Structure 1
Amino acid sequence: MFDKYLIQADSLRNTGPAEAPTGFAFDAKLGYYRGIGLSMIEKLDVSIDGTLLPREAVRFDEGRGPLTLAAMETAYDRRWAFGAKATILVAHPGGFPAGEHELSLTEQLRVSYLPFPSINSDTKRVSLGEAADAAA
């Protein structure tokens, strides 16, 4: 339902030193109609051009500091509110590749009253623009 709103394409930026980026980041929204505890987020899969990036490279920050996906499993006191932007940080030597690429995000959520996981995906054609490069 909210899949097309997951990736905030205009937020894409490289992280680390401008001359040698160590990764990239982008803002995302929750694809579920209610807020959810971070411990209920089972997966955040990030792909570039169909290549899944390693789970260990992904960090999540809803505004209280970045967590690994493994640390989120026990983050019982933290929530991602519906409509709120969170930052997805990805360790990726060289940062986001130059040029236009397909960026994908899949969120797999454990919802207490559903007998199956809630899976939401968004894919967008994105590139780092001049404004994004200047903000990095």
Structure 2
Amino acid sequence: MTFVMKLPFVDTVVDNSLVNTLVNGKKLGYEFQIRLSYYRGHYLSCIEELTIVVDGEEVKANDINFCLNGKEFTMGQIPYLISEFWNCNEAATIKVYLPGGLEDGEHNIDVTLLLRNAYMYIPGNTEKHNYAVLDSCGSKTLTLRNEERRED
């Protein structure tokens, strides 16, 4: 796999975006926002890797939902979303299923976000990795906001 670009135009993890998620009055997880750290948008199917580590513990892919354009997707759906476009100036919401949510206070969030640049073919790479990869990874410590997002 060829890594060609890391263009940190914006922080990947959005400031002041960490909240617990309430469903029917119960904390069922938490959510925060991320952005593409790049000068142009990408189709969601171009996401090569998206992993989340919170406070040193990796979140299982089955516990992550990716929300964009008013829609919510599982990580298993991402490779097939060939018509869902992520504009570079839009934040996506990452929802994590964690009964009880997060404790009050600061939490370190590490995001590994690698995207295929479909317009940058690299000859000679392996069959699976024929395109240059954009590194849009980021890390930030966020304080859990007291307000909670309700989904009743």
- Could you state the TM-score of these two structures normalised by the residue count of structure 2? 0.78
Match of 1:110?
116
Match of 1:46?
52
Once the two structures are TM-superposed, the CA of residue 26 in structure 1 deviates from its matched residue by: 1.0
Distance in 1 (CA, whole Å) between partners of 2:48 and 2:59 is 16
Give the residue type in structure 2 aligned to 1:42: E
CA offset digits 1:47-78 (Å, max 9, x no partner): 11221111111111112310012111111111
Aligned residues: 134
Matched, 1:124 2:134: no
Once the two structures are TM-superposed, the CA of residue 134 in structure 1 deviates from its matched residue by: 4.9
Distance in 2 (CA, whole Å) between partners of 1:39 and 1:49 is 28
Do the aligned partners of 1:43 and 1:69 also contact (CA within 8 Å) in 2? no
Which residue of 70, 73, 83 corresponds with 2:76?
70
Match of 2:125?
none
Match of 1:5?
11
Aligned-residue identity in percent: 27
Which residue of 105, 113, 128 corresponds with 1:99?
105
Do the aligned partners of 1:43 and 1:106 also contact (CA within 8 Å) in 2? yes
- The 3-state SS of whatever aligns with 2:26 is coil
CA RMSD of aligned residues (A): 2.0
**Where do 5+ consecutive residues of structure 1 fail to align?**
none
Matched, 1:85 2:91: yes
**Where do 5+ consecutive residues of structure 2 fail to align?**
1-6, 123-131
Give the residue type in structure 1 aligned to 2:134: S
Match of 2:27?
21
Q: Which has the higher strand share?
A: 2
Q: Label 1:99 to 1:19 Cα distance change in 2 as closer, same or farther (>3 A).
A: farther
The structure whose Rg is larger is 2
- Could you state the TM-score of these two structures normalised by the residue count of structure 1? 0.86
